[in-house]
Chain A
Amino acid sequence: MTPRSASTVAPARPGARRGVADGLGTSAARPDGIPKVRGRFAFSSDAFAEGMLWGRTLRSPHPAARIRSIDVSGALRMPGVHAVLTADDVPGAPTYGLEHADQPVFASDVVRYQGEAVAAVAADHPELAWRAVQAIAVDYEPLDPLVDAEAAITAPAIHPDGNVFRHLRIRHGDPDAAGDVAVQGTYEVGMQDQAFLGPESGLAVPDGDGGIDLYISTQWLHVDRDQVAACLGLPPERVRLTLAGVGGAFGAREDVSLQVHVCLLALRTGRPVKMLYSREESFFGHVHRHPARMAYRHHATADGDLVKVEARLVLDGGAYASSSTAVIANAACFAAGPYRVPNAVVDGWAVRTNNPPCGAMRGFGAVQACFAHEAQMDRLATALGMDPVELRLRNALRTGDTLITGQVITGTAPVREVIEAARAHPLPPDPAEGDPAMALPGGAGATALRADVRRGVGFAVGFKNLMYSEGFDDFSTAGVRLELAADGEPVATVHCAAAEVGQGFVTLAQQIVRSALGVERVVLRSADTTVGSAGSTSASRQTWMSGGAVQTACEAVEEVLLHRVGERHGIPVDGTRRQLLDLRDGVVVAVDGDLRVSVAEALAEGPVEEVRTYHHPPTSPLDADGQGNAHVSFAFAAHRAVADVDLELGLIRVVQIATGQDVGRALNPVQVIGQIEGGIAQGLGLAVMEEIVLDGGRIRNASFTDYLIPTSLDMPPVLATLIEQPEPGAPVLGAKGVGEPPTISSTPAVVAAIRAATGAPLTRVPVRPQDIALAPGVGSSTAENDA
């Protein structure tokens, strides 16, 4: 029997208030779907301008070196080369950064990682640009790179700002508390790459008046704009950014890559300039997931109640700060997992090294911690002689419980429900003789003998915060304009700078407007910086934040419409009389009378346009003991993985993943399933194949030949159950963000399944064949012993 996809997709439901088609709760179609299947959707790499030049970056071959001199004359002399820029050509701020401006636009005195930008050129043809960067002579004095994160804490500083980005200390309850049983372990997570498919690219067009327009794939237009403007030495309003089609993001587009370089080249040459990274350059051009080393000790009573969690987490932030201070906060805040833990001692460190810079990737710190705390929960279950799922259920967080940061969970926390939902899915059929070789570990290689294959089942639970935390003023802005189209029908236009990166916010924005205003035709303006910031497409925040902004703007438009109709018909609509009129299915109706005025009639006297800014409830910073109400809301998921393992060769085939996920409300069930399946694929990748391999700070596998991401043959069927408990205070029907939880606990679930199949300890991800085949008592080591 061949495996078949059997994901559970919830049936479409009508919207909350309005009966309009394709509103909230339906699996409405993406507005960009047709151009995408036809190949006509304009990604940033498709941008074109008449007479444009091609930009290219020169990057350091060394992870650490002093720059003795840079000679650009050879490149400048080449016909067809129009500009060669170095640090001396940066008119504004010499450095940039997402949270701390510590990264040079171009290195001038030292380079701190392999791939750091040193110069950029603009030429008539991409090949000429490549030849030009080869012709730049840089005299480096290589230095010993600092590549050990633990050593970096005390090593001499490799940057004027020091080596420690942040040390976060959490002390909760009694630090001396102890239980009947303690288990400990040290765990490691390798450096994962976001590996979005659409490479970094952008087109900068000078406006002829000293300003610039940049068409760019990014996750946050306004924070890019502010960094670019500072480095160009221009006021922000002279720098206009428009979102060009984004080919995936997953955190890697939160930081500036080529934005400053391409604008500098365009302003210098006075011509449009396009930059487009190759896949190899992309590996050097964006931040990665922080590698982590995590030492844990869990204490519990003999009955299985968690007593205390001790953890020391060291995250390697690489050469520049990026979002390291926030990533370590997440790793530390969620270090104990979604469980009641009365006492905790956690020390989180994020440090600077000469490794590639690390920053945001889907799951953002929670991924690393979850791999460790879930391995610990399994160890604890073994020590207690308990079923690992029962141990998790026994300690599962509930509303009203207190986190190790002292914050009481006031929102929904269906931890028990997600665990039970994941467990309730049917297991796949047992392997049988006659299964095709393709279905065994090793696949088309046909390397596995059925007799060498063992099956294991593993379980894991994870959670993280939604939106920005620790007192950050997090907001989004949206404008909604309602007017009559040329054919006399009402049409709504949404203007919001939220970056659509594939997740489907564009669909959701349309659904919100349809349900709120009863208007089916909804147009989206380009996301750009002529409207206020929408914040970042990260932290699972746009459904809540920009969804909230669109919803709030719709409510403001409705208010204006009701006023209009009320004034025209002598119905006062202020104060308590407001309830006499309502907007239902695109018609303004008097609730106690016969009045019915269509939206089209109400719009006859002109359009209605309202812009609103939505802020989530304020949060607090963490105090000196890491205590505080730092987070707004949390999302939970559980995963059960089934894996077949070839013990001799250490090859793995994941057979099935079942999940329960806390979504609040599924506003577009098919899109939610897409996030769940896609997020699980990235979690599976981290479990068994994805790692940027470093050797003395140098990347050894900067290509899709050598950095492997899951293919259709690696991904098993996913069985998903959506747990819908609307979150109080979430502005769009109680929906939570859904993008990150699938990536958090899928990794430890897969590794737990491999442990169950092999008995190998597997304290590091990704699990490599030798971690299995050469583990004591497993695979070929057994064979050697037998021989």
Chain B
Amino acid sequence: MTGNHPLAAESETYELSVNGRREQVKAAWLGESLLSVLRERLGLPGAKNACEQGECGSCSVFVDGILVCSCCVLAADAVDAEVTTVEGLADGDALTDVQQSFLAAGAVQCGFCTPGLVVAVHDLLDRNPDPGDLEVREAISGNLCRCTGYGRILAAVEAVRDQRGRRSRP
């Protein structure tokens, strides 16, 4: 955006820290959400735009380790924070156990809710390694899925929980 652009007076250049990298956000309108900046300026479209009012969880990311809806965070407000998106969960081309389990269980259909759910399930299982069924349901109840009816998603979460449980047993 050029200097005489109509939004120039409402724009700033700033830096974000995303998935361990410093990213410059140039002359961005200050009204842009973190979701919008990740998707449109930083080439990270994994967080999705389904409701843009914090109801559906499709845009879930971590800001300083806290699970948030990135549609409800102004990007410029995340300047001093460490942002982790779905693209930053796995090392390189590997898949996390949650991602693998979603594939194996048949938890993916259209896939629009999937990145947000993968982030939310990592958050749940990293905080609570042994959640019961109702705890799992409550933890992902902020992530809407319209395709699956949640059955295979719950199966995927249970499978990761059980795998991690077996691994951590002496």
A pairs with B: yes
User: Which A residues are closer than 8 A to B by beta carbons?
Assistant: 2-5, 7, 27, 29-30, 32-34, 36-43, 45-46, 48, 78-80, 124-128, 194-199, 245-250, 276, 278-279, 436, 438-439, 444, 501-504, 670-671, 673-674, 676-682, 703-705, 709-713, 715, 717-718
Give the bracket for the number of chain B residues in contact with chain A.
35 or more
Chain A residues near B16 (CB, 8 Å)? none
Chain A residues near B31 (CB, 8 Å)? 127
A-B contact pairs, 14 of them (CB 8 A): A37-B102, A37-B111, A37-B118, A40-B46, A46-B45, A127-B7, A199-B49, A438-B134, A681-B148, A682-B146, A705-B55, A712-B141, A712-B143, A712-B145
B72 lies within 8 A of chain A by Cβ: no
| 20 further contact pairs, Cβ within 8 A, besides A198-B112, A678-B109, A704-B51 | A30-B103, A34-B95, A34-B103, A36-B114, A37-B103, A37-B111, A38-B99, A39-B114, A78-B6, A79-B5, A128-B7, A198-B48, A247-B112, A279-B50, A502-B109, A670-B105, A677-B149, A682-B146, A704-B55, A711-B150
Chain A residues near B118 (CB, 8 Å)? 37, 39
Chain B residues near A40 (CB, 8 Å)? 46, 87
Knowing A247-B50, A502-B109 are in contact, say whether A39-B86 is a contact too (CB < 8 A).
yes
- Asked if residues A713 and B141 are in contact (CB atoms below 8 Å), the reply is yes
Chain B residues near A126 (CB, 8 Å)? 36
The A interface is mostly helix, strand or loop, or mixed, namely: loop
Nearest B residue to A81 via CB reads: B6
Closest CB in chain A relative to B149 CB, distance in Å: 3
B6 contact from A37, A79, A199, A279, Cβ within 8 A: A79
The list of the 5 closest CB pairs from A to B, nearest first, reads A39-B46, A502-B110, A36-B111, A247-B112, A677-B149
Closest CB in chain B relative to A326 CB, distance in Å: 23
- Asked if residues B147 and A198 are in contact (CB atoms below 8 Å), the reply is no
Closest CB in chain B relative to A157 CB, distance in Å: 37
- Asked if residues A247 and B90 are in contact (CB atoms below 8 Å), the reply is no
Candidate in A30, A128, A715 with the most chain B CB atoms within 10 angstroms: A715
Chain A residues near B68 (CB, 8 Å)? none
- Asked if residues A124 and B146 are in contact (CB atoms below 8 Å), the reply is no
A678 contact from B48, B144, B149, Cβ within 8 A: B149
Knowing A5-B155, A197-B50 are in contact, say whether A247-B103 is a contact too (CB < 8 A).
no
Per the bound structure, the CA–CA distance linking A66 and B11 in Å amounts to: 40
Nearest B residue to A3 via CB reads: B133
B154 lies within 8 A of chain A by Cβ: yes
Closest CB in chain A relative to B11 CB, distance in Å: 10
B153 lies within 8 A of chain A by Cβ: yes
In the complex, the number of residue pairs spanning A and B with C-beta atoms less than 8 Å apart equals 208
Nearest A residue to B39 via CB reads: A46
B106 lies within 8 A of chain A by Cβ: yes
B79 lies within 8 A of chain A by Cβ: no
Chain A residues near B78 (CB, 8 Å)? none
Chain A residues near B144 (CB, 8 Å)? 197, 704, 709, 711
- Asked if residues B103 and A713 are in contact (CB atoms below 8 Å), the reply is no
- Asked if residues A2 and B146 are in contact (CB atoms below 8 Å), the reply is no
Knowing A2-B132, A29-B103, A712-B137 are in contact, say whether A80-B58 is a contact too (CB < 8 A).
no
- Asked if residues A5 and B5 are in contact (CB atoms below 8 Å), the reply is no
Closest CB in chain A relative to B40 CB, distance in Å: 8
Closest CB in chain B relative to A711 CB, distance in Å: 4
Nearest A residue to B106 via CB reads: A670
Knowing A45-B49, A80-B5, A679-B149 are in contact, say whether A33-B134 is a contact too (CB < 8 A).
no
Chain B residues near A247 (CB, 8 Å)? 48, 50, 110-112
Nearest B residue to A39 via CB reads: B46
Closest CB in chain A relative to B144 CB, distance in Å: 6
Closest CB in chain B relative to A743 CB, distance in Å: 10
B81 lies within 8 A of chain A by Cβ: no
Closest CB in chain B relative to A508 CB, distance in Å: 13
Closest CB in chain A relative to B104 CB, distance in Å: 8
